[in-house]
Amino acid sequence: MNQTGGIGHDQWKTRFGFMLAAMGSAVGLGNIWRFSYVAGENGGATFLLIYLFFTLLIGIPLLLTEFSIGKAGKMDAVGSFKKLAPNTKWHLTGLMGVVGGILILSFYTVVSGWSLFYLYRYLTGAYWTEPDGGFGAAFDSWIASPIAPLFWQGLFLVATILIVMQGIKKGIERANNVFMPALAVLMILLAVYGLTLEGAKDGLAFLFTPDWSQLTNPSIYFMAMGQAFFSLSIGICGMLTYSSYLKEKDRLPAATVGIGIMDTVFAVIAGVMIFTAVFSFDVDPSSGPPLVFITLPSIFASMPAGNVVGIVFFILLTMAAFSSAISLLELPVAYFHRTLGFTRKAATLIIGSIVFVLGVAASLGFGIWGGVQLGGNNIMDMMDNLTANIILPLGGLLMVLFVGYYLTKEQAIKNSELETPFLQSAWYLLIRYIIPVIMVVILVGSLFGII
């Protein structure tokens, strides 16, 4: 039943469709929810600067590396490595990605479920004004309840499953063709609205005026690298899987740069949207993960037309999460379908069920399973730390080593599709020496608690 030929040959209709889907994968909860609280906790502009630097120096070259493996291998995360490096252990990189994808999706659907529920509360008017006891208490008791969050998380997952089941052209490409333009319009609208608020200037200063003394703070580098990886979806072979559906004639380099830039632009616009509001209403920007679910709603409740802003914001957050969740599900599904030979439908249902069960554990970790902790981390924190801080960077490191050292220089450069000799040399130098060294320093440093 191995379908590597026929069924495995689903492809993107256009290169632009691929770009939108890859941008859809990149732009997600990471840009809005994660970026804003990590930047808020790590000094704003200084963090942004280092994050931008890492995106350019490591993120985009690594994205090209990952795309080049998928396009040359023309298979899923595991199959592509098996094809390019038969009889070696390199395919374990892909397997680690598959496991990482399942883990990320498990907690991603929990937060997406919260977002969907908030959208519902805004549509019905329930959160237009501060609930009794405040938004903080409302959020805390909602995430701690045993059943309700599971319903919204399940609903979100079912929608994701239905899209992925339809395949690349009919499901994933079509959905992103609608979501991405809509997302861009809504986000720009909200950012422009944010700029009209009274405290906009302070918000912009927080985001764009670096505090140079912070550059000596090592933990900012670690957080910025993790954020760059998470935000660009690199290191777990999700992007590799997407690029395997490209047609031969569709070139990689310009698409890669376009995707990297768009993801970064989205993060900056999201920052403008959120911090102009945060500073206009005098709230602490470093309020952590609840920023989006507690701080913003209380701001919306007191700002002009806040109810409309709330509706638009949670539509935006849910849509952004959705297009990323689709790519996270496609990664293991492609492996089950193409390498293990399951039908796409069976693969989607099996993985979807595993994700749901793990997600239930992550959700209950905020309530009745709150006692399950490791070093002060609940179940979701453990999944987040294991993936963002270990699996993604390790996967990325293995990929640059694979292309830089296992493949020959000729193969690597041919697969990258870079044309000018200068860019070829610069990229090869980066993936062979500079990126591995920086990554090992940061990874080892964090492992030993230096960073």
List contacts with ligand PFF (CB under 6 A).
Answer: 25-26, 28-31, 101, 104, 230-231, 233, 236, 238, 324, 327-328
Beta carbon nearer to ligand PFF, 240 or 272: 240
Beta carbon nearer to ligand PFF, 101 or 306: 101
C-alpha to C-alpha distance for 94 and 352, rounded to whole angstroms: 19
Q: Chain centroid to CA 291: how far?
A: 18
Q: Find the shortest distance in angstroms from Cβ 183 to ligand PFF.
A: 12
> Positive or negative, the Cα torsion across 117, 200, 187, 242?
negative
Q: Find the shortest distance in angstroms from Cβ 318 to ligand PFF.
A: 12
The length of the chain is 451
Q: Find the shortest distance in angstroms from Cβ 119 to ligand PFF.
A: 17
Beta carbon nearer to ligand PFF, 236 or 291: 236
Beta carbon nearer to ligand PFF, 28 or 199: 28
What is the separation, in whole angstroms, between the first and last Cα of the chain?
49
Residue entry with tokens 């030993």:
448
Beta carbon nearer to ligand PFF, 238 or 297: 238
Q: Find the shortest distance in angstroms from Cβ 111 to ligand PFF.
A: 9
Q: Find the shortest distance in angstroms from Cβ 327 to ligand PFF.
A: 5
Measuring CA to CA, which residue among 173, 169, 168, 180 is closest to residue 333?
Answer: 168
Residue entry with tokens 């399951």:
342
Q: Find the shortest distance in angstroms from Cβ 29 to ligand PFF.
A: 4
Q: Find the shortest distance in angstroms from Cβ 419 to ligand PFF.
A: 28
Beta carbon nearer to ligand PFF, 44 or 101: 101
Give, to the nearest 10 degrees, the angle between helix 45-54 and helix 200-208: 50
In the complex, residue closest to ligand PFF by CB: 30
Q: Find the shortest distance in angstroms from Cβ 235 to ligand PFF.
A: 8
Q: Chain centroid to CA 372: how far?
A: 26
C-alpha to C-alpha distance for 274 and 52, rounded to whole angstroms: 18
Measuring CA to CA, which residue among 362, 363, 365, 340 is closest to residue 351?
Answer: 340
C-alpha to C-alpha distance for 324 and 337, rounded to whole angstroms: 20
Beta carbon nearer to ligand PFF, 34 or 337: 34
C-alpha to C-alpha distance for 354 and 325, rounded to whole angstroms: 14
Q: Find the shortest distance in angstroms from Cβ 243 to ligand PFF.
A: 12
Beta carbon nearer to ligand PFF, 135 or 314: 314
Beta carbon nearer to ligand PFF, 63 or 236: 236
β-bridge mates for residue 374, sequence order: 377
Beta carbon nearer to ligand PFF, 138 or 320: 320
Q: Find the shortest distance in angstroms from Cβ 233 to ligand PFF.
A: 4
